């Protein structure tokens, strides 16, 4: 058996097993000879040392990879942490899963609003603007080895989740008077500053809704806004939660035959980057049960 270093961490070994007769000096007849020969061959082969330097004319080649650890198989997919598009998609997926479960770690108490000190040793639910960052660890590997990926080429980025109250001074026009939640994610572009972010999800709630019985549900059930943000993040649309009136009912009736809203019902609308609106859900104004739903994942009933 001979070994040759090919310069790339691989070595080749040539093994030429000796015939049993050359080992014993005699041959056994028939089936006994064949069985016994195979047995001796296995013993002889296993006794070969990897350090042997004896030359051999044999052409059987064994390639062994000399590596300090097991490598992943080629069936797994790797994504380099510097890939902007991939990092952006993974970040959205991680955050969306947390929002659906209502388990964003840094989410403030009182979400979708937050508590503030009243100056008398107590805390009150505030409708003032706030923001917080949520760090997300983006693993660089997918596949059959999730634990291994925790140690390989991971990168941590943060999402910015913010709330703007309806009286925010920087707001004007149609957005004024709306409660607005946004998620801003890094662009991951190398030529941009790490703090440069793009709005990736937005949910607006009309003031009339917040003053209704459904507004009380929004205040005290964080899943409503959390799921709305998850939907906005997943589909890349802006969501608006409003109360139906005669004007909006007429517009929606022209867009969809499924519009069975009555004045005072809660309606969920989505709008894309081109301003095209779509009716997602209609909730009854009294019992808040779904009268129509195109996106049942949004609902918290």
- Report CA 230 to chain centroid distance, whole Å: 12
Our count of domains for the chain comes to: 2
In a domain, 218, yes or no: yes
**In the chain, which residues have pLDDT < 70?**
1-83, 139-154, 169-176, 188-195, 258, 301
The sign of the CA dihedral 76, 79, 81, 85 is: negative
Please answer whether residues 244 and 265 qualify as being in contact, where contact means their C-beta atoms are separated by less than 8 angstroms.
yes
In a domain, 254, yes or no: no
In a domain, 26, yes or no: yes
Please answer whether residues 183 and 157 qualify as being in contact, where contact means their C-beta atoms are separated by less than 8 angstroms.
no
| pLDDT of amino acid 49 | 43
In this structure, the number of other CB atoms found within 10 A of the CB of residue 296 comes to 10
Q: Are residues 136 and 197 in the same domain?
A: yes
| pLDDT of amino acid 114 | 96
| pLDDT of amino acid 10 | 40
Q: Are residues 25 and 146 in the same domain?
A: no
Q: Are residues 47 and 112 in the same domain?
A: no
In a domain, 292, yes or no: no
Domain boundary among 243, 266, 286: 243
| Partner residues linked to 278 by β-bridges | 270
Q: Are residues 48 and 107 in the same domain?
A: no
Q: CA torsion angle for 286, 289, 294, 296 (degrees, to 10)?
A: 140
In a domain, 7, yes or no: yes
| pLDDT of amino acid 55 | 45
| pLDDT of amino acid 67 | 32
Q: Which domain holds residue 25?
A: 2-65
In a domain, 290, yes or no: no
């Amino acid at each position: 058996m001979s070994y040759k270093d090919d310069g790339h961490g691989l070595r080749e070994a040539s093994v030429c097993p000796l015939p049993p007769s050359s080992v014993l000096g005699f041959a056994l007849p028939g089936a006994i000879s064949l069985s016994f020969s195979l047995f001796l061959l296995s013993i002889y082969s296993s006794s070969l040392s990897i350090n042997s330097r004896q030359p051999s004319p044999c052409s059987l080649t064994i390639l062994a990879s000399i590596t300090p650890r097991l490598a992943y198989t080629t069936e797994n997919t790797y994504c380099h942490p510097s890939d902007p598009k991939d990092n952006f998609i993974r970040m959205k997926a991680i955050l969306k899963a947390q929002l659906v479960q209502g388990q964003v770690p840094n989410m403030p108490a009182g979400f979708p609003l937050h508590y503030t000190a009243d100056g008398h040793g107590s805390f009150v639910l505030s409708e003032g603007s706030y923001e917080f960052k949520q760090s997300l660890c983006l693993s660089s590997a997918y596949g059959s080895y999730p634990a291994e990926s925790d140690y390989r080429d991971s990168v941590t980025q943060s999402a910015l989740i913010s709330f703007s109250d309806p009286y925010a001074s920087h707001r004007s026009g149609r957005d004024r008077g709306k409660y607005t939640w946004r998620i801003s994610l890094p662009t991951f572009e190398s030529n941009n500053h790490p703090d440069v972010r793009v709005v990736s999800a937005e949910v607006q709630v009309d003031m009339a809704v917040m003053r209704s019985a459904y507004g009380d549900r929004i205040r005290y059930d964080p899943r409503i806004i959390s799921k709305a943000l998850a939907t906005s993040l997943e589909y890349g649309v802006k969501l608006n939660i409003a109360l139906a009136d005669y004007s909006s009912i007429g517009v929606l009736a022209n867009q969809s035959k499924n519009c069975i809203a009555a004045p005072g019902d809660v309606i969920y609308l989505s709008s894309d980057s081109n301003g095209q609106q779509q009716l997602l859900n209609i909730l009854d104004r009294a019992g808040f049960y779904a009268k129509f739903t195109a996106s049942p994942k949004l609902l918290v009933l």
